[in-house]
Structure 1
Amino acid sequence: MSGEMKVKKNDIEQALSKLKSSTSTLQTSLPQSIQGNNVLDLVTELNNLNRAIEEMAQSYKQLLIQNEEATRQSVQFIVDTDKKLSIYAK
């Protein structure tokens, strides 16, 4: 095993762009109320579950956005560090 790590920035950028695109089109909304004229407890519980699922999906979407940005920054840091180190290796 060599001590060299290769970063394929273009491949990473393409994957992150695909992730960003998929994240931006992720639909997180559910029906706010399915009750209508129905007064069953089950309908109330389903409405509560829908709200909880929607909140969780929004949080997940926000995490995906944050992770995508953090990954971009990390890759750029690695590339920049590699350039700086190559100057000293000469």
Structure 2
Amino acid sequence: MAAEIKIQYNETERALSTLRQTLDAWNSHYPRQIGGDNQLQVIDKMNELNEQCQQMLESYKQLLLENQAAAKQSVETMEETDHSLSSMITLSR
């Protein structure tokens, strides 16, 4: 079974670039404090939950940025390997 893997590098790079731009523009700030001087327990609990949500959003954004960078590096490595193999095949003919 002969199967060829074809990577459309330009399309992949464009998609990864769009992802990076979207992540850079993403405002992940969540309201940390509500209620001002209000001393209701529910306000304290909401502020605590808002802080946790903010931390979660920041962690998620960082994970997406790391995944985008890893995917970009993988595509670049595949492209370099593809060019190297192509050159080797051309030289061996």
Give yes or no for the alignment of 1:73 onto 2:78. no
The aligned amino acid for 1:49 is L
Moved more, 71-80 or 22-31: 22-31
The aligned amino acid for 1:59 is S
Identity %: 37
The unaligned stretches of length 5 or more in structure 1 are none
Helix, strand or coil for the counterpart of 1:31?
coil
Structure-1 residue corresponding to 2:34: 34
Distance (whole Å) between structure 2 residues aligned to residue 47 and residue 15 of structure 1? 37
How far apart are residue 2 of structure 1 and its match?
4.0
Structure 1 residue runs of 4 or more that deviate by more than 4 Å after TM superposition: none
The aligned amino acid for 2:44 is T
Show the 5 A alignment for 1:1-80.
2-80=2-80
Structure-2 residue corresponding to 1:87: 87
TM-score normalized by the length of structure 1? 0.91
The aligned amino acid for 2:62 is Q
The aligned amino acid for 1:88 is M
The unaligned stretches of length 5 or more in structure 2 are none
- Aligned length, in residue pairs: 90
Distance (whole Å) between structure 2 residues aligned to residue 31 and residue 71 of structure 1? 32
TM-score normalized by the length of structure 2? 0.88
